[in-house]
C-alpha cells in the first residue's frame, strides 16, 4: 500500500507508519491504537489517518455531516457507543466508524454490526476486558553480554537492522573473534567463513543467526511477552468466558506465560530457583556452618578433661606447637565431628548436589584448627560452579521458553486483537439493546424508482464534518438520482416505525415510540413541546447510524442512501442582517446542489419576521422539492408556508389529543398530511367546551358563561 496516497499522510507520516509491524492491517482494520504506536503520531491523528484510509478505499469524498448540528448528533451518538466500551482501544476504534454515503462502506460495517448484534455481553467477559489493552512492542531491549561478529560491511548493516538488540562488531579474522570473546560472554559469528574455527571462550558460528532471531536474542520474544503478559492473559480469559473461537492453544500459551517473570526472566523452575538461592545464600550459609562447627567444638572442649603427660607437653611446647596440635592429638574425633556437622549444614541448607557437595566439603579442612574457618579457595570454586550452573540453566530455560513463545507471538497478537474487537462488538450490542435497535433496511440507488429526479452534479455542499478534511459531496458522488415526482411525496426517503430517540434524556420505557416517514419535502407542524425537535433528532440519529452501518433505534426502518445530512437546529432569536444573509446563502447552495441530501430544519422562521419567513421557507422548499432532496422543515407557520408554496407541500402534524389536568396529551407520531392544531387553539377549544357543558347559574354565578357568552366560540372560529 502506498501510504502517501492516503489524504493527509505526507512523507514523514508515511515513514512513521512504515515502522509499524503491519501498517496495512492497522489501517485496514482502523486499529487506531496500533497506528498511534508509530513514532510521533497521537491518537487523535491516528483516528484521522484511519478514517482517511477508509475513505480512500471506498472513494468516499467525506462531508456527509454537513452542518454543526449534524456533527453534534454524530458526536453524541458516538459518545453513547463509547460509553459502552471497556477498553480505550474500542472507544478509539469506534471513532473510525463514521457516516458515509458509500454503499460499499456502509455494507462493510453492516456485516460487522450484524455479527456484533449476536453477541451477548456477560459480566465475566466485561471484567476480563478490563485487563486487555493494545500490545506494546518493547523497543528498549539491549543485551550487553552477547554480540554478533562479521568481517563483511554489508552483512554488518544487515545484522544491525535485523538484530538491533545486540552490538554488531566487525572483525578481521578468528583472532578478532578471540579478542571479542574477552569482552563478551558470548560471541556469535555470522559469517559462513568462520565455520570450523575454534576459538577460546563462548564463540558460536551461526551463519543463519539473523534468520532465527528468537534463538539469537531469546530476550526479544521474552521481553514482548513479559511486557504484554497481563493483556494476553486477560485476552485468554475473554476468549474463555465468551467462548470465542481461536486457533491458539490457550492452555499452552497460558502455561508458557506462567513461566515468565515480568522482567523477562524465567519463573517456576525448581532447579534454577535452587541454584539462584544457593548463590545468594552461599556466604551466609558458610558463616553459619562455621558457627555450627565452632559451637560444637567449643562444647566438646569445655566438657573434655584433657590429660597430657608432662613429657608430651614439654615436647609440644619445645616445638612451639599451638593448640591445634593439641586438638589433633587429643580432640581429633571431636574436631572431625564438628567439621562434619558444618559440612552437613552447608550442604543441606544450600541443597547442594553431589558434585557441588564435593567442593563444599573442602571448604572446611580436615586439619584441626580452632576456631574452624572456611577455606577461601574451594569456597571460590563452589561459587563459580553454582553461578555457572545457574547461568547455563537460565540461558537454556530462556531459549526453550523463547522458542515456545516465539511461535505463539502471532497467535497472542490475534488473541488480543480479537478480544479488543470483541469489545467494539459488545459496545454495539449493548447500545442496540439499550436503545431497542434493529438493522435498518436500505433502498440502494439501483433499487429506487427511477424518475425525473434532478441528477446532481454535486460538487460540494460546504461544511466540514469534523471528521474529514473534505467538504461536501464531491463531483464523483453518485448522482442524486432523486425521487420520482410522479410517484407522489411518499416515495423513498425514510420510513421509521417505533423509533425512540437515543438523545432524549429519558429512560427507554418513558419514551413514546414514534412512527414517521417522509419522501420528498414535508413541513412538520405541531403543538408546543409536542416533540417536533425530538422527531428531527430521531430522524437524524437514525440516518446517521444507518449510514455508519450500525443498528438504529427503532422497531423498523427503511431508508434511501443519502449523500449528506444537513440538519439546522433552531436559531435562538432573530438573526441580524449579516447572519440572515449567510443562512439564506447556505440554503441557496443546498437548493442548487443538495440532491440526494437529507435536509432537516427546525423552526427556520425565527431567523426573521414571520411574514418574510414564510415566504423564504416556501421558496426554499420549492427548490429542494424540485431537485429531489428529502427534507423536513419543522414550523409553526406551516399553514402560511403552504399557502405561499408554489407546489402542494405535505404538512404533517404532531397532534395533542387532549388536555389532561392542564397538561397536553400528545400523540408523538406525526400524522401524515395533517396540519396539527396549535396549543392556543386547543386551550380555546377546551374553554369553549367547558362553557357549553356548564349551564349558566340562575344567580349569574358562573362568571365565565355569563360574562362572555359565545366569546370562546368567536375565538375558535378564527382558527378555522
Ligand atoms: N417520543 C417522546 N416520548 C416521550 N417524551 C417525549 C417524546 N418526544 C418529546 N418528548 C418530551 O417532550 C419534550 C419536548 O420535546 P421537543 O422539544 O421535541 O418538542 P417541540 O415540539 O420541538 O417543542 P417546541 O414547539 O417548544 O419547539 C422533550 O423534552 C421530551 O421530554
Ligand 1 contact, 553 CB (< 6 A)? no
| In the predicted structure, residue 484 carries a pLDDT above the cut 90 | no
Q: Is 463 annotated as a binding residue?
A: no
Query: Is residue 165 predicted with pLDDT exceeding 90?
Result: yes
Shortest-distance atom of ligand 1 to CA 668:
1
Whether omega for the bond prior to residue 371 falls within 30 degrees of 0, making it cis, is yes
529 is in an annotated binding site: yes
ipTM: 0.98
468-496 mean pLDDT = 47
With a cut of 90, say whether residue 120 has pLDDT above it.
no
Of 504, 505, 539, 657, the residue with max ligand 1 atoms within 8 A of its CB, to mutate for a pocket test, comes to 504
Pocket of ligand 1 contains residue 530 by CB under 6 Å: yes
Q: Which atom of ligand 1 is nearest to the CA of 526?
A: 21
148-157, 375-384, 473-482, 523-532: lowest mean pLDDT where?
Answer: 473-482
Per residue in 660-679, pLDDT tens?
776 778 889 998 888 887 77
Residues 6+ apart with CB under 8 A from 440: 542, 545, 546, 551, 552, 554, 557, 558, 559
At 450 the pLDDT is: 42
The pLDDT confidence band at residue 497, using thresholds 50, 70 and 90, is very high
Closest residue by CA, ligand 1 atom 4: 511
Flag whether pLDDT at 342 surpasses 90.
yes
Cis peptide leading into residue 652 (ω within 30°) = no
Question: Is the CB of residue 534 below 6 angstroms from any atom belonging to ligand 1?
Answer: yes
What pLDDT digit, counting tens, does each position of 42-64 carry?
A: 888 898 999 999 999 899 999 99
Q: Is the C-beta atom of 664 inside 6 A of ligand 1?
A: no
Higher local confidence (pLDDT), 46 or 687: 46
Q: Are 440 and 548 in contact (CB under 8 A)?
A: no
Confidence of residue 202 (pLDDT cuts 50, 70, 90): confident
214 or 483: whose pLDDT is higher?
Answer: 214
Residues 6+ apart with CB under 8 A from 317: none
How much of the chain exceeds pLDDT 70, in percent?
Answer: 89
The alpha carbon of 600 and the centre of ligand 1 are apart by a number of angstroms equal to 16
Give the full edge-to-edge strand order of the sheet including 186-189.
167-170, 146-150, 186-189, 202-205
Q: Is 531 annotated as contributing to ligand binding?
A: yes
Q: Is the model more confident about 327 or about 255?
A: 255
**Running DSSP on this structure, what letter comes out for residue 394?**
H
What is the average pLDDT value for the chain, to the nearest integer?
Answer: 85
For 696-718, the pLDDT digits (tens) are 544 444 444 444 558 888 888 88
Question: What confidence tens digit (pLDDT) does each residue in 267-313 have?
Answer: 888 999 999 999 999 999 999 999 999 998 888 878 777 777 787 77
Residue 117 to residue 430: CA distance in whole angstroms: 8
Amino acid at each position: 500500500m502506498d501510504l502517501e496516497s492516503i489524504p493527509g499522510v505526507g512523507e514523514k507520516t508515511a515513514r512513521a507508519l512504515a515502522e509499524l509491524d503491519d501498517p496495512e492491517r492497522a489501517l485496514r482494520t482502523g486499529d487506531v491504537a496500533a497506528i498511534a504506536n508509530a513514532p510521533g503520531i497521537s491518537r487523535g491523528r491516528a483516528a484521522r489517518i484511519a478514517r482517511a484510509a477508509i475513505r480512500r478505499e471506498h472513494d468516499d469524498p467525506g462531508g456527509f455531516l454537513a452542518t454543526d448540528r449534524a456533527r453534534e448528533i454524530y458526536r453524541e451518538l458516538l459518545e453513547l457507543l463509547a460509553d459502552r466500551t471497556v477498553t480505550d482501544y474500542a472507544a478509539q476504534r469506534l471513532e473510525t466508524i463514521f457516516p458515509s454515503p458509500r454503499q460499499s462502506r456502509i455494507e462493510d460495517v453492516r456485516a460487522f454490526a450484524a455479527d456484533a448484534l449476536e453477541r451477548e455481553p456477560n459480566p465475566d467477559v466485561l471484567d476480563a476486558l478490563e485487563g486487555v489493552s493494545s500490545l506494546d512492542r518493547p523497543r528498549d531491549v539491549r543485551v550487553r553480554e552477547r554480540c554478533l561478529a562479521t568481517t563483511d560491511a554489508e552483512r554488518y548493516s544487515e545484522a544491525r537492522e535485523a538484530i538491533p538488540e545486540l552490538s554488531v562488531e566487525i572483525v578481521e579474522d578468528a583472532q578478532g573473534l578471540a579478542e571479542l570473546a574477552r569482552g563478551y560472554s558470548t560471541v556469535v559469528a555470522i559469517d559462513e567463513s568462520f565455520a570450523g574455527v575454534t576459538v577460546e571462550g563462548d564463540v558460536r558460528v551461526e551463519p543463519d543467526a539473523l534468520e532465527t532471531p528468537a534463538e539469537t536474542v531469546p530476550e526479544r520474544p521474552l521481553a514482548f511477552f513479559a511486557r504484554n503478559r497481563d493483556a494476553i492473559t486477560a485476552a485468554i480469559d475473554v476468549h474463555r468466558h465468551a467462548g470465542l473461537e481461536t486457533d491458539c492453544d490457550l492452555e499452552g500459551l497460558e502455561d508458557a506465560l506462567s513461566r515468565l517473570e515480568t522482567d523477562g526472566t524465567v519463573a517456576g523452575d525448581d532447579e534454577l530457583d535452587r541454584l539462584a538461592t544457593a548463590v545468594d545464600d552461599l556466604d551466609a550459609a558458610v558463616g553459619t556452618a562455621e558457627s555450627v562447627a565452632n559451637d560444637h567444638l567449643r562444647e566438646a572442649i569445655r566438657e573434655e578433661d584433657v590429660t597430657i603427660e608432662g613429657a608430651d607437653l614439654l615436647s609440644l611446647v619445645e616445638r612451639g606447637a599451638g593448640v591445634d596440635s593439641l586438638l589433633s592429638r587429643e580432640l581429633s574425633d571431636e574436631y572431625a565431628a564438628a567439621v562434619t556437622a558444618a559440612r552437613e549444614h552447608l550442604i543441606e541448607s544450600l541443597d547442594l548436589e553431589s558434585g557441588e557437595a564435593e567442593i563444599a566439603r573442602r571448604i572446611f579442612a580436615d586439619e584441626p584448627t580452632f576456631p574452624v574457618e572456611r577455606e577461601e579457595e574451594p569456597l571460590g570454586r563452589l561459587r563459580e560452579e553454582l553461578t555457572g550452573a545457574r547461568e547455563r540453566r537460565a540461558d537454556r530455560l530462556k531459549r526453550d521458553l523463547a522458542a515456545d513463545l516465539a511461535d505463539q507471538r502471532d497467535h497472542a497478537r490475534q488473541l488480543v486483537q480479537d478480544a479488543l474487537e470483541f469489545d467494539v462488538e459488545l459496545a454495539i450490542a449493548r447500545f442496540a439493546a439499550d436503545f431497542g435497535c434493529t438493522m435498518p433496511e436500505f433502498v440502494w440507488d439501483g433499487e429506487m424508482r427511477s424518475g425525473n429526479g434532478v441528477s446532481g452534479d454535486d460538487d460540494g455542499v460546504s461544511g466540514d464534518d469534523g471528521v474529514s478534511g473534505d467538504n461536501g459531496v464531491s463531483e464523483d458522488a453518485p448522482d442524486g438520482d432523486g425521487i420520482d415526482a410522479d410517484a407522489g411525496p411518499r416515495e423513498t426517503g425514510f420510513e421509521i416505525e417505533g423509533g425512540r430517540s437515543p438523545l432524549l434524556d429519558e429512560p427507554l420505557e418513558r419514551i413514546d415510540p414514534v412512527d414517521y416517514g417522509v419522501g420528498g419535502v414535508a413541513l412538520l407542524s405541531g403543538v408546543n413541546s409536542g416533540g417536533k425537535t425530538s422527531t428531527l433528532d430521531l430522524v437524524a440519529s437514525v440516518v446517521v447510524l444507518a449510514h455508519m452501518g450500525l443498528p438504529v433505534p427503532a422497531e423498523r426502518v427503511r431508508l434511501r442512501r443519502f449523500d449528506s445530512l444537513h440538519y439546522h437546529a433552531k436559531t435562538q432569536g432573530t438573526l441580524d442582517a449579516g447572519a440572515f444573509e449567510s443562512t439564506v446563502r447556505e440554503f441557496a447552495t443546498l437548493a442548487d446542489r443538495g440532491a440526494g441530501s437529507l435536509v432537516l430544519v427546525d423552526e427556520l422562521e425565527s431567523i426573521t419576521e414571520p411574514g418574510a419567513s414564510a415566504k423564504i421557507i416556501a421558496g426554499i422548499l420549492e427548490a429542494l422539492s424540485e431537485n429531489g432532496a428529502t427534507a423536513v422543515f419543522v414550523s409553526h407557520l406551516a399553514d402560511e408556508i403552504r399557502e405561499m408554496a408554489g407546489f402542494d407541500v405535505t404538512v404533517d402534524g404532531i397532534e395533542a389529543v387532549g388536555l389532561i389536568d392542564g397538561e397536553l396529551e400528545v400523540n408523538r407520531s406525526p400524522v401524515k398530511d395533517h396540519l396539527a392544531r396549535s396549543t392556543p387553539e386547543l386551550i380555546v377549544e377546551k374553554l369553549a367546551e367547558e362553557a357549553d357543558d356548564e349551564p349558566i347559574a340562575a344567580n349569574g354565578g358562573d362568571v365565565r358563561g355569563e360574562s362572555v357568552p359565545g366569546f370562546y366560540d368567536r375565538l375558535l372560529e378564527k382558527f378555522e
